[in-house]
Structure 1
Amino acid sequence: MSTSIFAFIIVLGVLVFFHELGHFLVARLCGVGVEVFSLGFGPRLVGKTVGRTDYRISGIPLGGFVKMVGEEPDADIDPADIPFSFTHKSVFKRIIIVAAGPMFNLVLAVLIFFGIFVISGSYVLEPVVGVINTGTPAQASGLREGDRITVIDGRAIATWDEMADAIMKSEGRELTMTFKRGEEARTVRVIPQTTVMKNLFGEDTERYVIGIASAGVVHRKDMTLGQAFVESFAKTYEISYLTVLSIVKLIQGVVSTKTLGGPIMIAQMAGEQAREGAANLVFFIALLSINLAVLNFLPIPVLDGGHLLFFLIEAVMGKPVNRRVREVAQQAGIFVLLLLMIFVFYNDISRIFSTS
């Protein structure tokens, strides 16, 4: 239990710090004064004031905030503070300040993946045949367990994913497949067949297969700094895309709302990852950081995405959104978030009782 709590504090602290750091640094870069940089909400526990900014740790460790000069559009501002006021900056500067929070969460993910790839490289599943299903094209072609696929239709194959991709893209067309059996190279012709499989979201999808499973042979691939840099961006994009797709599937009803979790589930998962080792916990932070970024970009008032939506409307219309409209939207956004928080807490508690 203590491991989960400690890991939760570490994970949340890192995520919130990077998110608020993004807002803070870009605000300062744009000439906006920052009054408070806080990790946590509620009463101030400890802190230090440097210049006009109060850097603090607050009592409720479930988030954080950056309070900028003139952040509220209708607040009274000392004339001397107008040059440092958020509201008085151009709409473009306000957009990049607000977007900087979730963008820094994506940057954090890139940095973590970069470090992992530099230190550990990546692990590649080799195209070595394991189990061959009865009555399949692979069995008919004479493939055997232990055969290593090397070429498909003139395309060199180095990984299992490359092989699966080549088979999928065949769309049922006959393939010329070269493989190694021991030191001997052989070639066979295989016609993939269609089958219905469950995808990541549990949906039935049609795929082209030849009826083989992987032998589970993997090897470590070291990466140069350049390769690690490119791969870290690719991994961040891949997980971001899947996160967005998961939200779409959730709205469509494909993914069950029971999969949603809140602080309790995050604490449990953080504890599990911490017990598995520091590398697992760091990877978990990267995943959560991407999720936090995507969620914050959603156009829900009170989230960064809601503010961005208002600023984009202002940029198009040439004037700020009506105050009353903003207030109603903010109230609706708070209501939606409260309902979501209640629901995820309910899910978390239900999981605890179902596993006890």
Structure 2
Amino acid sequence: MDVLARLWFSLEILLGINFIIFVHELGHFMFAKWHGVRCPVFSIWMGPRIWGVKRGETDYRISLLPLGGYVMMAGENPDERTGAPDELTSKGVFARFQIFVAGTAMNFVWAFPIMILSFMVGKEVAAPMVGDVRPDTSAWESELQAGDELLSIGGTQVRAYEDYVKEIVRRPKGEKLEVEYRRGGQTRKTSVTVGTATTIGMSPISTVVAEVEKDKAGAASGLRKGDEFVSIDGIPVFDANEISDIIDRNAGKGLAVVVRDKAGASRTLTITPALGEEKWVLGIGRETTPPVVGVVRPNTPGAKAGLKPGDEIATIAGESVASFGALTQIVRPRAGQTVTVTWKRGTEAMSAEVLIGSQGGRGFLGIMPEPSNRLATVPADSALAKAGLQPGDRILTVNGKELKIVSSPSADDRKRAVKGEIYISLDQVEMEARAGKGEKLSFAVKRGDQSLSVDAAPVKKADGDLSIRLQHKTIMLRSGFGESIQRGCAEAIDVFVLTGQMLRKLLVHEEEASNLSGPVGIVSAAYKSATEGFGNLLWLLGMISMNLAVINLLPIPVLDGGHIFFLFIEKLRGKPVPARVQGYAAAGGALLLLSLMLFVTWHDIARMF
């Protein structure tokens, strides 16, 4: 993406977000003037005045800092009140109520034309196709699988992936919803149970090439922007992480890749990943993970074969299974085949004939590995091998910190892991090594009856790289004038209702506060939307405008809802709340909002990395 495009996207975001804040302040200003309140300043942006014109009592100005705007009303500051009839506090309760609510009303009203325009321009959205299903989630308990096309949920048509997510968010936790989907040309039904936003457990198909760097491996192999990965070495693919993993593991090796262009035409390419940037690694991954069953998905080949958590897979189709990574490689090309699977349950040897399931042509058993501190294999030339670690070794501590392996870590253990007090998986150890600068790690190891101390120094290794960026498969939703009005109005009301429902779920602890977004998350989402098209940016601005309309009505001092709350008390008491009390409340409200802002900004940044 060139510099001019980045600057243009940034300008779109700056103007769009500032417009939303401008109409909010304009609402306050218009009603203040209507009720005869003196307004010395109406400013676009903040800080020192750089240009303006005075009309009557008001200085209409543009200020230096491009951060929203403000309206200054006489009598707002308690120290400047004189009791003059044109001051804000000299007006009646109902007049002040209208002035305070006007900003929210403007955000509410403007969300409708912005949404309508987004559908007229055209909005690019994620296709309603399943790319991945994660364990211990509502989707995992259903029969949905990668490659399925979502048709409806809870009786509501699904035209885009976001329609599915919105229906989950709007419904109360625990409600069971019927999902209609299409697989292999057949329409089927299943059900999902509503959880939180983080337990939807599904992501849309993400196999489309969004960017290809010139003169790099991907471009040299014939990949073009807009191409969609269909299969790699004959195995269907549906998820960007899966594609990236295959590319990482195959530096210098030719891969037979089938792609589909924007027009739907397929072609086969031989793609050879180049060596990417060297990184410090230990060598921990699926190849070192024991082939022990941790989770069995209901109604899958694994469940029907009788597999249970704790079972250790020994062979599949006569091939020895050394690790969970090896298990995946054996199963994927065998969709629809009946094979013999053997495993150990404690000291008992077991076996069954298993019909391998098919996810769009990709074989699967429907099991996930059990978290373990045991090394199933030790890759040659890895830091683990150079340190003398062997298959079967169990790692007990890392740098003196406990390696606490459980199938479902508690919230407290997760917090301790984030703080660096403990490790809750070997993957966490690998990630820490990759983020470091080659520092040695000291392992306390159990090898049979022996207790050992082993130092492992990460080694530099380059994964495969195509220099491409993948994104969700998208479809364009563009409507005519009449349908745009209908869909835009429905979408605006939908966002209004969903925002209220999300706040309710937060209050009753059905949703996690960490799922909220602050300024960093909003700007990041706005930039992404701008790159996807003007219609997407308009939709996001409409959503932000409606969010502001709802949130500003919360009875928190310093928000419009806080001012309205004090007016309600004043009406009941027959006199205003003392300025001192309002001052203390405002300080507390500001502290609360600042704390919330820091909290969500921290999580916004964490999500980016």
TM-score by length of 1: 0.68
- Which residues in structure 2 correspond to 1:294-313 (within 5 Å)? 294-313=550-569
Asked if 1:264 corresponds to 2:260, the answer is no
Asked if 1:201 corresponds to 2:197, the answer is yes
One-letter amino acid of the structure 1 residue matched with residue 39 of structure 2: V
State the Cα distance separating 1:252 from its structure 2 match.
3.1
Q: Identity, % of aligned pairs?
A: 37
Match of residue 51, structure 1, among 32, 48, 56: 56
Match of residue 582, structure 2, among 326, 329, 353: 326
Q: 1:348 to 1:59 in 2, by over 3 A?
A: farther
- Give 3-state SS (helix, strand or coil) of 2:193's partner: strand
State the alpha-carbon separation in 1 of the partners of residues 35 and 21 from structure 2. Answer: 21
Q: 2:74, 2:81 within 8 Å by CA — same for their partners in 1? A: no
Aligned to 1:84: 86
State the Cα distance separating 1:85 from its structure 2 match.
1.6
Q: 1:91, 1:315 within 8 Å by CA — same for their partners in 2? A: yes
Q: 1:228 to 1:66 in 2, by over 3 A?
A: same
State the alpha-carbon separation in 1 of the partners of residues 595 and 55 from structure 2. Answer: 38
Q: 1:72, 1:87 within 8 Å by CA — same for their partners in 2? A: no
Q: 1:63 to 1:340 in 2, by over 3 A?
A: farther
Q: 1:36, 1:54 within 8 Å by CA — same for their partners in 2? A: yes
Q: 1:305 to 1:41 in 2, by over 3 A?
A: same
Match of residue 276, structure 1, among 502, 508, 532: 532
Q: 1:35, 1:52 within 8 Å by CA — same for their partners in 2? A: yes
Aligned to 1:189: none
State the alpha-carbon separation in 2 of the partners of residues 6 and 34 from structure 1. Answer: 30
State the alpha-carbon separation in 2 of the partners of residues 253 and 31 from structure 1. Answer: 44
State the alpha-carbon separation in 2 of the partners of residues 7 and 244 from structure 1. Answer: 28
Task: Tell me whether 109-118 or 297-306 shows the greater mean CA deviation.
Answer: 109-118
Match of residue 67, structure 1, among 67, 72, 82: 72
One-letter amino acid of the structure 2 residue matched with residue 252 of structure 1: V
- Which residues in structure 2 correspond to 1:1-356 (within 5 Å)? 2-3=7-8, 5-73=10-78, 75-77=80-82, 82-116=84-118, 195-198=191-194, 201=197, 222=480, 224=482, 232-352=488-608, 354=609
Cα deviation digits, residues 40-92 of structure 1 (max 9, x gap): 33222332222211122233333321111222356333x7xx33221111110
Task: Tell me whether 268-277 or 283-292 shows the greater mean CA deviation.
Answer: 268-277
Higher relative helix content: 1
Structure with max Cα Rg: 2
- Give 3-state SS (helix, strand or coil) of 2:49's partner: strand
Q: 1:71 to 1:120 in 2, by over 3 A?
A: same
Q: 2:517, 2:601 within 8 Å by CA — same for their partners in 1? A: yes
- Give 3-state SS (helix, strand or coil) of 1:292's partner: helix
Q: 2:118, 2:536 within 8 Å by CA — same for their partners in 1? A: no
Cα deviation digits, residues 288-321 of structure 1 (max 9, x gap): 1111111111111011110010011112222111
Aligned to 1:151: none
Q: 1:4 to 1:340 in 2, by over 3 A?
A: farther
Q: 2:529, 2:540 within 8 Å by CA — same for their partners in 1? A: yes
Q: 1:54 to 1:250 in 2, by over 3 A?
A: same
One-letter amino acid of the structure 2 residue matched with residue 27 of structure 1: A
State the alpha-carbon separation in 2 of the partners of residues 98 and 312 from structure 1. Answer: 12
State the Cα distance separating 1:31 from its structure 2 match.
1.6
Q: 1:345 to 1:220 in 2, by over 3 A?
A: closer
State the alpha-carbon separation in 1 of the partners of residues 86 and 526 from structure 2. Answer: 40
State the alpha-carbon separation in 2 of the partners of residues 65 and 160 from structure 1. Answer: 41
- Give 3-state SS (helix, strand or coil) of 1:346's partner: helix
Q: 2:42, 2:61 within 8 Å by CA — same for their partners in 1? A: yes
**Structure 1 residues not aligned, in runs of 5+:** 126-135, 137-147, 149-156, 166-171, 173-191, 205-215
Q: 1:201, 1:254 within 8 Å by CA — same for their partners in 2? A: no
State the alpha-carbon separation in 1 of the partners of residues 564 and 110 from structure 2. Answer: 21
- Give 3-state SS (helix, strand or coil) of 2:76's partner: coil
Q: 1:279 to 1:28 in 2, by over 3 A?
A: same
Cα deviation digits, residues 253-291 of structure 1 (max 9, x gap): 332333222222222211111111111111111011111
Higher relative strand content: 2
**Structure 2 residues not aligned, in runs of 5+:** 1-5, 128-141, 143-150, 168-175, 177-187, 201-473
State the alpha-carbon separation in 1 of the partners of residues 19 and 602 from structure 2. Answer: 26
Task: Tell me whether 325-334 or 106-115 shows the greater mean CA deviation.
Answer: 106-115
Cα deviation digits, residues 299-346 of structure 1 (max 9, x gap): 110111100100111122221112222111111011111112222332
TM-score by length of 2: 0.42
- Give 3-state SS (helix, strand or coil) of 1:83's partner: coil
State the number of aligned residues.
Answer: 291
Q: CA RMSD in A?
A: 4.1
Q: 2:33, 2:39 within 8 Å by CA — same for their partners in 1? A: yes
